[in-house]
Amino acid sequence: MGYKKKHFTPTVSIARHKAIKSPQEQHSVNNFSYLATDAAKSTSPDFHRDANGACDGCAIRHVSLCNVLDTQELGTLSKISTDHRKSAKQIICSEDDPADHLFNIHTGVVRLSKMLPDGRRQVTGFLFPGDFFGLCCGDLYSFTAEAVTEVDLCRFSRPKLRAIFRDIPKLGERVLDMTRTELDASHARMLLLGRKTAREKLSTFLLDMVKKNAVTPNCAADETPNNQELLIDLPMSRTDIADFLGLTIETVSRQFSLLHKAGYIELDGAHRVFLKDPDQLSALAEGL
């Protein structure tokens, strides 16, 4: 095809086609309800956590806001945190509402979006376990956050969290690092929307989902050798993907079909995709 094939290496491990073996793992993938720790299983939508129990056993602590904290500091943070649960399609926070809280995702997937006055929607991001949101807002939320799947979150009072930054400086530094990562992602997204073709956009999106899936509990089973099939879950709808990529749903569906016919991906229903040639997909994403 006249291009140089670029080598794609996942930054973290990801489940392969044959890596999902147990019934529990298979159920988790099919239903996108990632297993939570015992502390997140309360039926109440909003409850205080046990600082020395839930936080110490948190499955995503290594990639979340609090991964720099020791046990004592974790206890201090837990005192201002409440566990917050939302069912799929429920609103977590709404655009232009007072931005009183910040959120760290424990399990599930969240969609961020903005609405134009004429009703058109732009999806600005999909957030996964370990992602932190709400800090970049001013007095009002600049987006609407909605649960794509059932979601468990740690919710923090904004004034109380800011006060803890003074007492635990490394927590503030951790948040600054997460903000830098978010800014880098925003720059990449501007390139995606402004310059890439439909095929390049979808290829980039699928590769980004590899990285997101890899940090989700119970989805990262094995280290995946290069050029083998990568399994990714897409809990969001085709309409969500279209609104994220700035495309029509017809274009997104057509590009999925073209990538499938070319042998780069294999579709397993609407919400699971096998990347049959990640290196080739990476080359497409770069316009090579």
How confident is the prediction for the chain on average, in pLDDT? 77
- pLDDT over 90 (residue 245): yes
pLDDT at residue 275, as a whole number = 92
**CATH number for the domain formed by residue range(s) 38-167:** 2.60.120.10
Least trusted range by pLDDT, from 106-110, 129-133, 214-218, 275-279: 214-218
Q: Judging by beta carbons within 10 Å of its beta carbon (0-12, 13-18, 19+), is residue 51 exposed, middle or buried?
A: middle
What single letter denotes the amino acid at residue 7?
H
> What is the per-residue pLDDT across 80-125, written as a single tens digit (0 to 9) for each?
888 889 999 999 999 999 999 999 998 999 999 999 888 889 999 9
Long-range contacts: 120-128, Cβ < 8 Å, 24+? 121/243, 122/243, 122/246, 123/240, 123/243, 123/244, 124/189, 124/244, 125/185, 125/189, 125/244, 126/212, 126/236, 126/240, 126/244, 128/212, 128/213, 128/215, 128/216
pLDDT at residue 249, as a whole number = 96
- pLDDT over 60 (residue 173): yes
- pLDDT over 60 (residue 148): yes
User: What's the rounded mean pLDDT across residues 271-275?
Assistant: 91
Where do the domains of the chain lie? 23-31+197-285, 38-167
Q: Do residues 231 and 14 lie in contact, with contact meaning Cβ atoms separated by under 8 Å?
A: yes
- pLDDT over 50 (residue 213): yes
Architecture of domain 23-31+197-285: Orthogonal Bundle (1.10)
